[in-house]
Amino acid sequence: MSLRFHWMMPKGGEVGMKTAQETSRVATTQAHSPAALPDMDGWLRFARAAEEAGIESVLLSFSRYEPDTIFVACAMGQVTTKLGFIVAYRLGLMQPATFVQQINTLSGLIGGRVSLNVVAGSSAVEQRGYGDYLDHDERYARAEEFLTVCHAFWSGNGDVSFSGKYCHVDKGKIFTPFLAPDRSEPEIYVSGHSEQAQHLALTQASCYLRLIDTPEKLAPIVGRFRENGVEVCLRLCVICRPTMDEALAATQALMPPEEIEKQERKILSSSDSQTLKEALRAADDVGWMNRNLYAGLVPYYGSSAITLVGTPADLARAFMEYKDIGVTQFIIAGWPKLDEMVIFGREVLPLVRELEEKISPAASQRRSAEF
Amino acid sequence: MSLKFHWMLPKGGEVALDGQQSPREAARYRIESMQSTSPAVRPDLTGWTHFARHAEDAGIDSTLISFSRYEPDPFLVACALGQAVQKLKFIIAYRSGLMQPTTFVQQMNTVSALVQGRVSFNIVAGSSSEEQRGYGDYLSHDERYARAEEFLAVCNAFWRANGEVNFDGKYYRVEQAKLATPFVAPDKRAPEIFVSGHSEQSEHLASSQGTIWLRVAESPSKLEPIVARTRARGTGVCLRCCLLCRPTREEALSAAQTLLPVDAKESTTTMKDDSQMYREGNELGRDAFWPEPWLWTGLVPHYGPVWTTMIGTPDELASAFLEYKRIGVTEFIISGWPEVDTVDVFGSEILPRINQA
């Protein structure tokens, strides 16, 4: 199977921004951030570029600071034909039957180009604003029930009845099916680093989504998921330049002023998410996790800013190392989002496909048949 | 202020693009849309866009998108259809008990921004207990209203908010809630809220938390005091009805005949067990099928109160609408058989007569 590459959808207003500092996540959480509003013009530009770059899907992030992801996917799906949408959604915000009805409707409106990134909820404060008062572990226990109910609807074996600790459904029916050319339910990405997140991914997901780490550290984890039939997708950033010196200079240029670091640290350290804590620790401890993997941007740009830095050949080789240990998908971001994606599509992806072809020509032929 | 006219969105697959559909075929399609084998379970952007263009041409303000487990989610339908047409607005029917109010506001605000503010909603406390339990909602009729009251109170707090929202009720509790995406519209900061139902609770809820009370058409003399009472509280009144218009009364009546069920199997009203509106509808139909010469309730015992039908010639119907205007009704949500043909007739024959009066 060929590696699958997805990209983070920029926040509202980001596509038009020139510098990485402008697009740092801290800015989006402030009042009057352009990220609060949908940005159809910018997103459409980005989506066209993504389709051209060979990106399969974009991940739409969910928070109280941004428009609702399900509807962004719906509107964007009306103006694109190929790009897929990985809709991030938190649990605890609606009944599972309602969620299934919305996702199924969305699938019918955009030719099935939707998958889900289920997040149990990373901020207790933010969850309480949605009326959700469960703690970290309970949120995962609920997520387990929630997804069980969703799967029961998608399996289409008649009425759904479920009586758990958090979810109750009595003879539930949702008539609108999940509509896609090749599947009867969406792919489900479960993210998080905690034991509970991994357990949830193993039992309920089609793919485990986590932050990138070194191949050596990831190998046993990835192996466990693949043995259980669950794919693994890594979240990372890339900085790709013709030479390593240029790539390092580009990395250095991303360091923003002191103040942003302090705010970002506050967000990271106040979260009860294990993922965020681990990412911060990686940045504090080492910076460079190996020759090309840099955690030094995490204090400035958040936990998902662990970055592959290097030349096109470096990056292609790195992606193949992850493929060797069983990783199948990546969700990438860069600064600025559009430019880095164009570079990736032009310089890195063709090299990856070449290397894949060398290793396994048959697999790559299967891929061309699919597209 | 001139009357506002809205129209029901046809079910998925209902719009016959060739225009060859009899009233009975349209009616049967709608009734049978509650079967899992009906094409109505799927979104139908082609048919809906066709209808929406006709509605815009006819002078229709908004289209009401209904909610049930038998059809696509109306929020998403509004979002997609709003990309295809630029003028028509959307009234999204939704139930409380399906999601947290914070989530609801985030979705509503997002849709508003994606369709340039062309969105309002119709909150339904939930008309079938059985259907509600399938969504994980086990409350009784009266409790559903109490919850809807809280639900809308939280929503309104967000739309009024200049800061964080805090609420501590029996059914909902939110703490330091913030949503960055505002309701986006050229002329307002919050959507209009239609509250539908005939019970005392719904009347109360419409005035305490809503902007418009939505109920089924009845004779103007019966509605007059109720409408006056509601308007005095600053709440609009919208009537839900069907419309059957023909050049002559005889033609209209013979078209109406074809809509009656041919046997008992074709009736559907036993399903909504827990709604006062539906109970009243049953009784009303049996007592008197003609509250007015132009108002027919003959379909109500079979298909439910929303099949109450205004029937007649363009002149008769225009003066009937004006009679409702006189008693203080502010808007209507109409449907017909088929929807597209009826909206065309409304736009060309009835609305001009109302506007000239």
How many beta-carbon pairs under 8 angstroms link A with B?
A: 176
CATH code linked to domain A4-370: 3.20.20.30
Is A106's Cβ below 8 Å from some Cβ in B? Answer: yes
Type of residue numbered A371: F
Mean pLDDT along residues A16-33: 68
B153 to chain A, minimum CA–CA distance in Å?
A: 14
Residue B247, phi then psi, degrees to nearest 5: -55, -35
A33 to chain B, minimum CA–CA distance in Å?
A: 8
B221 to chain A, minimum CA–CA distance in Å?
A: 41
Residue found by looking up tokens 């002559």 in the block: B248
Is the separation of the CB atoms in B45 and B82 below 8 Å? no
Is A44's Cβ below 8 Å from some Cβ in B? Answer: no
Domain count within chain B? 1
Best mutation target, A70, A76, A103, A175, to test chain B (most B CBs within 10 A): A175
Which residues have CB under 8 Å from A370's CB, separation 6+? Answer: none
CA distances from A9 to A50, A84, A241, B122, B163 (A): 10, 11, 22, 32, 28
Instruction: For chain A, give the percent of residues with pLDDT over 90.
Output: 71
Q: What is the pLDDT along chain B (357 residues), one digit of tens a residue?
A: 799 999 999 999 999 877 788 999 999 998 888 888 899 999 999 999 999 999 999 999 999 999 999 999 999 999 999 999 999 999 999 998 899 999 999 999 999 999 999 999 999 886 788 889 999 999 988 899 999 999 999 999 999 987 899 999 999 999 999 999 999 999 999 999 999 988 888 999 999 999 999 999 999 999 999 999 999 999 999 999 999 999 999 999 999 999 998 877 777 665 455 666 655 555 444 456 999 999 999 999 889 899 999 999 999 999 999 999 999 999 999 999 999 999 999 999 999 999 998
DSSP code of residue B307: G
- Tell me whether strands B4-8 and A329-333 are parallel, antiparallel or unpaired: unpaired
d(CA A132, CA A123): 11
B224 to chain A, minimum CA–CA distance in Å?
A: 38
Is the separation of the CB atoms in B88 and B118 below 8 Å? yes
Closest CB to A131 among B102, B179, B180 = B102
Q: B36 to chain A: which residues are within 8 Å by CB?
A: 173, 175
- The structure's pTM equals 0.92
Closest CB to B114 among A71, A132, A167 = A71
Q: A105 to chain B: which residues are within 8 Å by CB?
A: 43, 72-73, 76-77
**pLDDT value at position B269?**
61
Kindly tell me if the per-residue pLDDT of A366 is higher than 60.
no
Q: A119 to chain B: which residues are within 8 Å by CB?
A: none
Structure tokens at A143: 């997520």
Residue found by looking up tokens 């919305």 in the block: A102
Kindly tell me if the per-residue pLDDT of A369 is higher than 90.
no
User: How many whole angstroms from its chain centre is CA A292?
Assistant: 21
Q: B178 to chain A: which residues are within 8 Å by CB?
A: 64, 129
A278 to chain B, minimum CA–CA distance in Å?
A: 27
Which residues have CB under 8 Å from A32's CB, separation 6+? Answer: none
**pLDDT value at position A370?**
44
Taking each helix axis from N to C terminus, what angle separates B314-326 and B220-232, rounded to the nearest 10 degrees?
A: 40
A6 to chain B, minimum CA–CA distance in Å?
A: 24
Q: Between residues 137 and 196 of chain A, which touch chain B (CB distance below 8 Å)?
A: 159-160, 167-177, 179
Are B77 and A105 an interchain contact pair (Cβ–Cβ within 8 Å)?
yes
Count, residues in chain A: 371
Is A70's Cβ below 8 Å from some Cβ in B? Answer: yes
Of A150 and B162, the one with more pLDDT: A150
Mean pLDDT along residues A269-297: 79
Q: Residue ranges of the domains in chain A?
A: 4-370
Q: B114 to chain A: which residues are within 8 Å by CB?
A: 38, 40, 67, 71-72, 74-75
**pLDDT value at position B126?**
65
CATH number at residue B131: 3.20.20.30
Q: B173 to chain A: which residues are within 8 Å by CB?
A: 131, 133
Are A172 and B134 an interchain contact pair (Cβ–Cβ within 8 Å)?
yes
Mean pLDDT along residues A217-229: 97
Q: Tell me, what's the ipTM?
A: 0.92
**pLDDT value at position B284?**
45
Are B138 and A168 an interchain contact pair (Cβ–Cβ within 8 Å)?
yes
**pLDDT value at position A283?**
67
Are B102 and A177 an interchain contact pair (Cβ–Cβ within 8 Å)?
no
Closest residue of chain B to A94, computed from CA coordinates = B99
Type of residue numbered A216: E
A357 to chain B, minimum CA–CA distance in Å?
A: 40
